[in-house]
Structure 1
Amino acid sequence: MIKAVTKLVCSLSVLSAFSTCAFAVMAFADEQPNIVLIFADDLGYGDLSCNGATKLQTPNIDRLAKEGRRFTDAHSASAVCTPSRYALLTGEYPHRKNLYAPVFLKTGLVIDPDQQTIASVSKDAGYETAIIGKWHLGFGDKTPDWNGELKPGPLELGFDYYFGVPVVNSHPPFVYVENHRVVGQVPEDPFVYGKKAKTQEIPEKMKLDNIGGADAAHAFYDDYQVGSTLTQKAVQWIKERGENKFFLCLSTTNIHHPFTPAPRFQGTSECGLYGDFVHELDWIVGEVVKTLEEQGVADNTLIIFTSDNGGMLNHTGQKTWSMGHALNGPYLGFKFDAWEGGHRVPFIVRWPGKVEAGSTSDELICNVDMIASFAALTGQTLQDGQGQDSVNILPALTGRSVERDHLLLSPFRKSHLSIRKGKWMFIGGQGGGGFTSKEVGNHGFGGPAAITFTGRENSDIENGKIKKDAPPAQLYDLKDDPAQTTNLYNSYPEVVQEMEALLKSYKPATSKKKKEKK
């Protein structure tokens, strides 16, 4: 796999590789733009008006598409939040880390500080770096010290600055963290496990394994102002950069439950709080773009907008569906699933003068590709064993092909690990591999029952259940059947055999090479 410009130049003996690589060198070698990566939370493919939504409108995000390139076959390496973020930062499939589920209050940092990340690659190239928003990758060597230094954390992975929500907006501790410490935490009022936090009572806001005390820290946190607070921090950080090159990852809590848009956004969509929360997200994007323009750096800034996974059919999602809004557009399934709706995500790139305005691409790309692309863009070289699953997608930004053989995709359940190769999608088990509650209104509603609820069709499912004679796994032709209506497992045994062999070739790593010290 070609990882960086230096390696591209050295690959002249391979004609096909040289064609693509030489183009990347000519187009990007002398360009080191600012980079703004906006990583939305639980935003489905169908949640944007530029992707077909009619019950809500996203003019600011649509503008990025009108002035840049919209990718229609982009994916998250995982249909779950924490492993998706792991893939984004490291360029490594979360399966290699045995990472399938989200982490919460008592989990240490899941990324080895010796790993290269999109932040460390950018920093090594002279960029000032920050991540603002949701973290959800753990803190500390073994467990976070909420009353002390939350270290190692983002700053040990190449970010110069961090401000945001340490876990997720639906789960305690319901505080902000800045760099290594909780904002507002004081020694005389420590956090206490098992004690209820003094925060707002909001539907779909979980109280499990709570951590209370620290009233001053909790007082800073207002669910309905999180989006505004993170936006203010992002805008301020951009303004402070002056003429220095910068990389900002804005990791929003929109639109993860609980759905708590600021009052000015409530009632603005035709699909309830879900749509209102998307409207707030669109405003956030608009504020960032406006700031870049005011600072005079918009034309030399590469903006990437995407999501960590597909939309979730939780209680609010079910209401939203009943109002006529299809969270994941035409695609089967939801967050946590191996079906397309779980991991096919919006992906829009804007870079004036470099990316054709109003263009679209059906190239197969993934969030795991960011580190190889950042390395190529900034003239860096990834160390051996680093970013091993990442592919440089810079050529796709300007209409060229990406050299990808296949893609490994992880749902919530390890049993449903999946392979995408060309037009084929192979899922290693029956059903979606995500949530499976059969009760409408339940937070964990999903699987075959959810497919029947939404009126979608699948040849393995009848009356909300897997048919008794359904194949043990699934194979779909996404070119002819992107909605995954027909399982072709029994029709193409040779393809199934190839896909199963590919899956078996991926084994979680038992050790990792250390990053070379500079």
Structure 2
Amino acid sequence: MNLLYLNTHDIGRYLNIYGYDVETPNLNQLAREGMLLRNMHCASPTCSPSRGVLLTGQYPHNNGLIGLAHRGFDITDKKTHLAAFLNQQGYETVLAGVQHEIRTRSESELGYEKVLNSEAYYQKGIRQEEFLTMQDEMATEAAIDYLQSRKTTDRPFYLAVGYGCTHREYPDLPPGYNSSYIMPPKGMPDQAGTRQDMARLKIALERMDRYCGKIIETLKAIGEYENTVIVFTTDHGLPIPKAKCTLYDDGTGVAMIIKAPGVTRACQSSDALLSQIDLYPTLCELLSLPQPGWLQGVSFLPVLNQTSSEVRNEIYGEINYHIACELVRSVRTSRYKYIRHYLAEYPYQIPCHIDDSEPKEIFHQAGIFEQKLPMEELYDLVGDPQERNNLAECPEYQKQKNEMQNLLLDWQVKTGDPLLETGTVCLPAGAIASTPDSYSTKTQVILPECRQYLGALKEVLQNNIKG
């Protein structure tokens, strides 16, 4: 059985299959032929750590990828990466397009035999709005060429195809495009600026859907569709305040579709509470492979084959580093969410963790980044699904709060969370972080102890970093 892993940046669940008005016919069809997972969450809502969890089956503080790969953070044991594991199991491991688990051009260290990106894929001097789409088109064509060149006697393949056009900066709107009839997602004010922002994202999503459709059609044309497990997902929520880089559901909630021949049945969806850390052990079962001992997730094969409606009672989340340090932990059940903040010296949402955009400016002008965050948060997800009414100090909810605190503490002990012992998560040598009050990713101020590493990262750092 082959494995096709399709992934994209920063979309949360902003897709037609989750109810939004976005034209994604190919993903809709894939969902109809497989299973749509409606309550899947990432374990760390920032780009590299999220992918690291999914592709190592370990939490960030266990696998080492606690921050962004292009800022010097790294997986400690690269043999745990899914590509390396599948390569050892006899798979031909192939990458086309984006990966964010290691610095660019180092992908062979993760276990990829073939990296299909040409030199043109990395060319510079192109506007970001055009560059990401160009890269995605090249990745799609490279993946198609690879599939069409395969022989029937070849080993089973693991093909990872990563897309970037859904990351900011989004594509420009075509002339005359009317964004008046677009509804921004929950959590964003319905204003002209946010509607236009979502219109640009819609253009990117529709392009990404078209690229996925081309690859799936190629699988069908070469006769491998019914011999391939297909996974589509993203890394975390939308790049807006109170979503990406937060442990609210708008930050951790992600789209996921799985089509597994002989396992998933057409037109099925599941509300099972799941974490992306559970995908690795699930794939091992789907591909009839042994589960390596380092995995920390739970296989949700019983959900896919509908022998069980749930496989876990709670999921866990963490944030350590994105542009700056932000130490947060959470536990979520079907009813409650408990969030614990550890960075008492900067009790605000960190502005540089949100990419510059019109929605960010709207929130900034409204003073959102000046509002203090409580050290503890507790939400009733049934009565308050948007997580706005913090119950942590309400006397009538202390029993629930204590239960959630104990769940989180047990997980931290079991996984060896360094926060319990040291109260912090140390910045690894070679990695860089900025001051938490840096407003923009384009004008961030680097921590003094990180200046020595800037030279080594110069080729992959695109922003203006001040020392």
In structure 2, what is the Cα distance between the partners aligned to 1:301 and 1:249? 13
In structure 2, what is the Cα distance between the partners aligned to 1:268 and 1:129? 43
**1:301 paired residue number:** 228
In structure 2, what is the Cα distance between the partners aligned to 1:293 and 1:278? 23
CA change 1:267–1:124 in 2 (3 A) is farther
Of 378, 397, 405 in structure 2, the residue corresponding to residue 500 of structure 1 is: 405
Of 101, 115, 133 in structure 2, the residue corresponding to residue 162 of structure 1 is: 115
CA change 1:232–1:442 in 2 (3 A) is closer
1:393 aligns with 2:300: yes
- In the TM superposition, residue 35 of structure 1 has moved relative to its aligned partner by 1.4
Of 271, 279, 286 in structure 2, the residue corresponding to residue 362 of structure 1 is: 271
Whichever residue aligns with residue 299 of structure 2, its letter is N
- The answer to whether the Cα contact below 8 Å between 1:76 and 1:366 also exists between their aligned partners in 2 is yes
CA change 1:34–1:99 in 2 (3 A) is closer
CA change 1:309–1:467 in 2 (3 A) is closer
Of 15, 39, 56 in structure 2, the residue corresponding to residue 73 of structure 1 is: 39
In structure 1, what is the Cα distance between the partners aligned to 2:250 and 2:348? 11
In structure 2, what is the Cα distance between the partners aligned to 1:157 and 1:414? 27
Secondary structure in structure 2 of the residue aligned to 1:348: strand
**1:136 paired residue number:** 100
In structure 2, what is the Cα distance between the partners aligned to 1:272 and 1:370? 31
**2:463 paired residue number:** none
CA change 1:355–1:265 in 2 (3 A) is farther
- The answer to whether the Cα contact below 8 Å between 2:16 and 2:23 also exists between their aligned partners in 1 is yes
Secondary structure in structure 1 of the residue aligned to 2:164: coil
CA distances 1:427-468 after superposition (whole Å, capped 9, x unpaired): 113999985449x99459769x84997xxxxxxxxx747878
Identity, in percent, stands at 25
- In the TM superposition, residue 280 of structure 1 has moved relative to its aligned partner by 0.6
Secondary structure in structure 2 of the residue aligned to 1:304: strand
Whichever residue aligns with residue 303 of structure 2, its letter is A
Of 335, 345, 350 in structure 1, the residue corresponding to residue 254 of structure 2 is: 345
In structure 1, what is the Cα distance between the partners aligned to 2:26 and 2:42? 22
Of 260, 276, 279 in structure 1, the residue corresponding to residue 203 of structure 2 is: 276
1:110 aligns with 2:75: yes
Aligned pair count reads: 386
**2:315 paired residue number:** 407
TM-score, structure 1 as length reference: 0.66
In structure 1, what is the Cα distance between the partners aligned to 2:178 and 2:12? 19
CA change 1:202–1:306 in 2 (3 A) is closer
In structure 2, what is the Cα distance between the partners aligned to 1:129 and 1:49? 31
- In the TM superposition, residue 229 of structure 1 has moved relative to its aligned partner by 0.3
Secondary structure in structure 1 of the residue aligned to 2:169: coil
Whichever residue aligns with residue 406 of structure 1, its letter is E
**1:424 paired residue number:** 336
Structure 1 residue runs without a partner (length 5+): 1-32, 145-149, 166-173, 178-182, 184-197, 204-220, 315-332, 454-462, 511-518
Whichever residue aligns with residue 398 of structure 2, its letter is P
- In the TM superposition, residue 311 of structure 1 has moved relative to its aligned partner by 1.1
- In the TM superposition, residue 130 of structure 1 has moved relative to its aligned partner by 1.2
- In the TM superposition, residue 406 of structure 1 has moved relative to its aligned partner by 2.7
1:39 aligns with 2:7: yes
- In the TM superposition, residue 157 of structure 1 has moved relative to its aligned partner by 2.7
- The answer to whether the Cα contact below 8 Å between 2:94 and 2:113 also exists between their aligned partners in 1 is yes
CA change 1:381–1:257 in 2 (3 A) is same
In structure 1, what is the Cα distance between the partners aligned to 2:115 and 2:73? 17
CA distances 1:368-387 after superposition (whole Å, capped 9, x unpaired): 12221222223332343x12
Of 15, 18, 26 in structure 2, the residue corresponding to residue 60 of structure 1 is: 26
CA change 1:441–1:99 in 2 (3 A) is closer
**2:219 paired residue number:** 292
Of 475, 488, 492 in structure 1, the residue corresponding to residue 391 of structure 2 is: 488
In structure 2, what is the Cα distance between the partners aligned to 1:229 and 1:129? 19
In structure 2, what is the Cα distance between the partners aligned to 1:48 and 1:294? 26
- The answer to whether the Cα contact below 8 Å between 2:66 and 2:73 also exists between their aligned partners in 1 is no
CA change 1:111–1:237 in 2 (3 A) is farther
**2:59 paired residue number:** 93
In structure 2, what is the Cα distance between the partners aligned to 1:364 and 1:40? 22
**1:473 paired residue number:** 376
CA distances 1:168-201 after superposition (whole Å, capped 9, x unpaired): xxxxxx9747xxxxx9xxxxxxxxxxxxxx5024
In structure 2, what is the Cα distance between the partners aligned to 1:368 and 1:264? 39
More helix by share: 2
In structure 1, what is the Cα distance between the partners aligned to 2:73 and 2:234? 24
- In the TM superposition, residue 268 of structure 1 has moved relative to its aligned partner by 9.8
CA distances 1:318-376 after superposition (whole Å, capped 9, x unpaired): xxxxxxxxxxxxxxx32111111111011111234431211110111222122212222
In structure 1, what is the Cα distance between the partners aligned to 2:88 and 2:2? 14
Secondary structure in structure 2 of the residue aligned to 1:492: helix
Secondary structure in structure 2 of the residue aligned to 1:409: strand
CA RMSD in angstroms, aligned pairs only: 3.6
**2:161 paired residue number:** 250
Task: List aligned pairs for 1:177-216, cutoff 5 A.
Answer: 199-202=125-128
**1:330 paired residue number:** none
- The answer to whether the Cα contact below 8 Å between 2:239 and 2:355 also exists between their aligned partners in 1 is no
In structure 1, what is the Cα distance between the partners aligned to 2:97 and 2:4? 13
CA distances 1:84-129 after superposition (whole Å, capped 9, x unpaired): 1111110001133564432326x2743423x323223323333222
CA distances 1:249-294 after superposition (whole Å, capped 9, x unpaired): 1121131112247x99995986432211111111011111110110
**2:17 paired residue number:** 50
Whichever residue aligns with residue 200 of structure 1, its letter is I
**2:431 paired residue number:** none
- The answer to whether the Cα contact below 8 Å between 1:42 and 1:254 also exists between their aligned partners in 2 is no
- In the TM superposition, residue 136 of structure 1 has moved relative to its aligned partner by 2.2
Whichever residue aligns with residue 329 of structure 2, its letter is L
In structure 2, what is the Cα distance between the partners aligned to 1:34 and 1:265? 42
TM-score, structure 2 as length reference: 0.72
- The answer to whether the Cα contact below 8 Å between 1:97 and 1:508 also exists between their aligned partners in 2 is no
CA change 1:225–1:435 in 2 (3 A) is farther
